[in-house]
Structure formats: structure tokens, C-alpha cells
């Protein structure tokens, strides 16, 4: 199969076979995002998906876990999704889980009965771009949802037997608001209890709409030391058993990961060391071009 645009999946899904079911992101409106601005969003033909499943099966592939691409495959309508799930079961009988990215709004477009059907048919982990626990930040970043809507839709998928995983972004609240965002997110996670939290710390690219806000002074980025301190406070305040945290600080080439609560001290120490190191030098910003 010809993969179009950027292949995007959470790092923890590295053992999953990626099956493109759509191209791009049906929303494509978040200010900080550059992932799918250059592709036109559409569902891929079912025949093309089946050809790919057959190709992999004929090569001996029978993965236990599939990750459905692209940016928010959960936006596919339920009939189409059920056909894809059925083909996956037919070609990969060993497959036990089908995971994918979703937005809060995608979930709101499905009924409780549809969510239950998808959960019973193999949809397992949904990765949702929560980003921030602060309503004004979500609104400024042009996210499609507010905090209360996120609570409601996460409750619905969990009631349908699916697992909530979160994407967040330290630095999303801007300079001086890292601690405030960490506190709000910890409240959110202590209530919604995700299984995995992936922190793609803010990396502001010149092609992102947010870059214009940066140039006009409407968005003042936090430096990397503040982003690290935000992540550290989030880990300190989050009290969710067996939560796996993966913090990717691309500009610093730093990665902090582990499971709460057993790895909490190890992760806090890693952040402490990094904060000390970056506080000792001139402020560093994750803004491209450097």
C-alpha cells in the first residue's frame, strides 16, 4: 500500500501493525498541528484496505494488534468501521486489539449503542488529544472540545469497554502557565484514569497557524526548563495506578517514561536533573527554525 502523508502513531504502538483506513484528520483545525495540513482528508476505499490486509496475510503476517491510521480514524462512520474490523478479523485471526486516534468530537458523533458495538468488535485503545486541562487554552488552540465535553465523552467510551489514552503537550498554555496547566491536567487524569499518557511537549513549527500568534505576540512560548517543570509537577500530582507515562521532549532529545506509581521517583529524578541542567544555561525554546 502506498502510505500518504506522514505516518503518525503513538510510540507505544510500535508493535502494532499500522493499517491506513483514512488519510489526514477530519478536523485539521488545531493551531499547533502541522501533521495533516498538506493532505486532503478522506476515507480510503474498502477494496484498497482489503488488498493491503491480503498482501500482509500472504506474506505470513498475523499481528495481534492493529493501529488504524490516520489522524482520527475514529471519525469513520460506524458501518464502515465495522466492515474494516470484520476484514481485520478475517485476515488476521490472531488480532485481539484495534487501536486508533480519536477526538472528543468523534466520540460525540456516535451513539452509546455504536460505541458498545465497536468495543465488542475489537476497538480497544483510543488515543485522544486532550492537550490541556484549561478551557481557555483549549479554546485559544482551537481544539474542538472543552474540558467538560472531554469528561463526558471519555466516560461514554469507558462505559462501552474501551480504554482512554491521552495525548498532552506541555507548554501548550504558554509562558508562565505551566504549573497551572499541570495542576488542571492532574485533576483531569485523577478523575478520568487513562491507561497511557503521551506527552509530545510543544514543538512550535513555522508552518503551524500558532506561529503567527507567536510572531504577533499573541502566544508567548514557555522555555524548555518550564516545560520540564510542568511535566514534573504533573507526574507528582497524578495519582493513577498503572498509568504509563511517555514524555518526549524532542528539542532536548530527552525522553522520560515509566509507570506510576512504581517509576514515579525515577521519572521525577530524571526531570530534576534535566531542569537543573537547562536552568543553568540560556533559555532554550522548541521553536522551528532554531
Binding residues for ligand SF4, rule: CB under 6 A, are 25, 27-30, 33, 35-36, 71-72, 103, 129
* Helix intervals (H) in the chain: 46-58, 78-91, 104-108, 112-120, 135-140, 147-159, 178-192, 210-216, 224-237, 264-279
**Measured from the CB of residue 140, what is the shortest distance to ligand SF4 in angstroms?**
14
**Measured from the CB of residue 283, what is the shortest distance to ligand SF4 in angstroms?**
26
**Measured from the CB of residue 238, what is the shortest distance to ligand SF4 in angstroms?**
22
**Measured from the CB of residue 142, what is the shortest distance to ligand SF4 in angstroms?**
8
Q: In terms of CB distance, is 25 or 118 closer to ligand SF4? A: 25
Three-state secondary-structure class, residue 128: strand
Q: In terms of CB distance, is 105 or 121 closer to ligand SF4? A: 105
Task: List Cα–Cα distances, 34 to 16, 37, 204, in angstroms.
Answer: 24, 6, 9
First and final CA of the chain: distance in angstroms?
35
Three-state secondary-structure class, residue 63: coil
Q: In terms of CB distance, is 22 or 186 closer to ligand SF4? A: 22
The conformation of residue 162, written as its DSSP 8-state character, comes to P
Q: In terms of CB distance, is 35 or 43 closer to ligand SF4? A: 35
Amino acid at each position: 500500500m502506498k502510505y500518504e502523508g506522514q505516518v503518525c502513531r503513538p510510540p507505544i504502538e510500535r508493535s502494532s501493525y499500522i493499517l491506513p483506513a483514512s488519510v489526514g484528520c477530519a478536523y485539521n483545525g488545531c493551531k499547533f498541528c502541522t501533521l495533516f495540513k498538506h493532505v486532503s482528508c478522506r476515507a480510503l476505499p474498502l477494496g484498497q484496505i482489503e488488498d493491503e490486509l491480503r498482501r500482509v496475510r500472504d506474506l505470513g503476517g498475523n499481528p495481534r494488534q492493529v493501529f488504524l491510521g490516520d489522524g482520527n480514524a475514529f471519525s469513520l462512520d460506524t458501518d464502515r468501521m465495522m466492515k474494516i474490523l470484520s476484514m481485520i478479523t478475517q485476515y488476521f485471526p490472531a488480532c485481539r486489539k484495534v487501536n486508533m486516534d480519536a477526538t472528543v468530537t468523534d466520540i460525540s458523533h456516535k451513539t452509546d449503542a455504536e460505541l458498545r458495538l465497536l468495543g465488542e468488535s475489537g476497538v480497544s485503545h483510543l488515543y485522544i488529544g486532550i492537550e490541556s486541562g484549561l478551557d481557555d487554552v483549549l479554546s485559544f488552540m482551537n481544539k474542538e472540545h472543552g474540558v467538560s465535553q472531554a469528561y463526558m465523552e471519555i466516560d461514554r467510551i469507558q462505559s462501552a469497554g474501551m480504554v482512554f489514552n491521552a495525548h498532552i503537550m506541555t507548554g501548550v498554555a504558554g509562558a508562565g502557565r505551566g504549573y497551572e496547566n499541570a495542576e488542571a491536567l492532574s485533576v483531569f487524569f485523577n478523575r478520568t484514569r487513562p491507561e497511557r499518557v503521551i506527552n509530545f511537549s510543544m514543538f512550535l513549527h513555522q508552518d503551524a497557524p500558532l506561529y503567527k500568534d507567536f510572531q504577533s505576540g499573541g502566544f508567548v512560548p514557555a522555555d524548555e526548563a518550564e516545560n520540564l517543570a510542568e511535566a514534573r509537577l504533573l507526574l507528582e500530582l497524578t495519582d493513577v495506578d498503572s498509568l504509563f507515562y511517555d514524555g518526549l521532549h524532542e528539542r532536548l532529545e530527552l525522553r522520560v517514561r515509566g509507570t506510576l506509581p512504581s517509576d514515579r521517583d525515577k521519572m521525577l529524578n530524571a526531570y530534576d536533573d534535566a531542569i537543573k541542567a537547562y536552568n543553568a544555561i540560556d533559555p532554550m525554546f522548541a521553536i522551528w527554525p532554531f
